[in-house]
Copies of this chain bind each other. A is one copy, B any other.
Amino acid sequence: MVGRLAVVGLGLIGGSLARAARARRAAREVVAVCRTPAGSARARAAGVVDRVTVDLAEGVRDADLVVLCAPVGTLPGLVRAAWPHLGPGAVLTDVGSVKAPVVAAAEACPPRPGVAFVGGHPMAGSERSGLQASDPDLFEGRLVLLTPTTTTPAGVVGRVTAFWQALGSHVRLLPADEHDRAVAAVSHLPHLAAYALVAVANGDALTLAGRGFGDTTRIAASAETLWIDIFRGNREPVLAALADYQETLARWEGLIRAGQWEALEVDLARAREIREKLA
């Protein structure tokens, strides 16, 4: 059990984290750091944390575990801002969908004995956003990726792992750059692909859409500001995944144009077999 947990940013993920930590008694006390007085007021009204502040330094002081739950683009700055105010024995982590920039920011901070950072990313979310969409069971049964470096103390990884496990998650470790390439393929590219499917279906066609279109494009209802931030933060891996995708589509376009149905069937069968195994 964590003593004092500070959650910086009380949106979908931060709100769900605070509620999950309380519901599962994973922390004795939960402090929320909000960006604005209006956000603080909403957090207080929701009654999901013990204390709310708009002062980052005050919020993270004396916390045993600080989890940054803010948009990807703000994370490096938040690491730098929080770092000097962390108390001895504190662990700083985050939930961002892009890991290299925030890990680099933490590595560039002046070493402080007994203070450590490890990057984190729960593979859980929703096309909805904000505290009102938060869910104390959001992390139940979900995978959480941690990206320790060669200098991250093993004990720190162990403490953050135990915290996520207390929320019902499974934890897996991998290097930040590997993480960023993998999520570009299984999360960032699918968002671009879904937004594009909606963009090309004109109004009349959309009135005919069935369940297949609905499921395939559900994530295109996600807040674009958060996703622009992610594409910007993970630019090179996203461009690489997008290039692979365009190459595959161009190949299939060529096969359809040429009537090479057997070759197309081989490609689709391979994809279908892989997808079936995902369950």
Question: CB within 8 Å of B: which residues of A?
Answer: 123-125, 142-143, 145, 172, 178-179, 181-183, 185-187, 189-202, 204-206, 208-225, 227-228, 231-232, 235, 238-239, 241-246, 248-250, 252-253, 256-257, 259, 261, 264-265, 267-272, 274-276, 278
Look across to chain B and name the residue whose beta carbon is closest to the beta carbon of A218: B215
Q: A185-B201, A232-B261 given as contacts; is B242 within 8 A of A125 (CB)?
A: no
Q: Which residues of B contact A219 (CB under 8 A)?
A: 212, 215-216
CB distance from A56 to the nearest CB of B (A): 26
Is chain A's interface secondary structure helix, strand, loop, or mixed overall? helix
User: If A123-B208, A181-B205, A199-B248 touch, does A221 touch B189 (CB 8 Å cutoff)?
Assistant: no
16 contacts between A and B (CB under 8 A): A125-B211, A182-B205, A185-B202, A186-B201, A187-B213, A190-B217, A194-B216, A196-B248, A196-B249, A198-B271, A200-B245, A206-B274, A220-B272, A223-B272, A235-B259, A246-B249
**Cβ of A253 and Cβ of B275 under 8 Å apart?**
no
Q: How many copies does the complex hold?
A: 2
- The answer to whether A248 and B182 touch (CB under 8 A), given A221-B276, A256-B238, is no
Determine the chain B residues whose CB is within 8 A of the CB of A239 once the complex forms.
Answer: 253, 256-257
Q: Given A186-B206, A208-B186, A210-B123: A246 and B241 within 8 A (CB)?
A: no
Given contacts A124-B210, A215-B216, A225-B265, 10 further A-B contacts (CB under 8 A): A181-B205, A186-B205, A186-B209, A195-B267, A198-B271, A216-B219, A221-B275, A224-B271, A231-B256, A245-B249
CB atoms of B265 and A224 under 8 A apart: yes
Are A246 and B253 interface neighbours, CB within 8 A?
yes
A202 contacts across to B, CB distance below 8 A: 185
Q: What's the minimum C-beta distance from A123 to chain B, rounded to whole angstroms?
A: 4
Give A201 to B44 CA distance when docked, in angstroms.
Answer: 42
The 8 Å CB contact of A264, one of B189, B231, B248, is: B231
In the bound assembly, the distance between CA atoms of A226 and B168 in angstroms comes to 40
Given A200-B244, A205-B181, A218-B215: A210 and B228 within 8 A (CB)? no
Most B Cβ at <10 Å: residue of A178, A190, A194 = A190
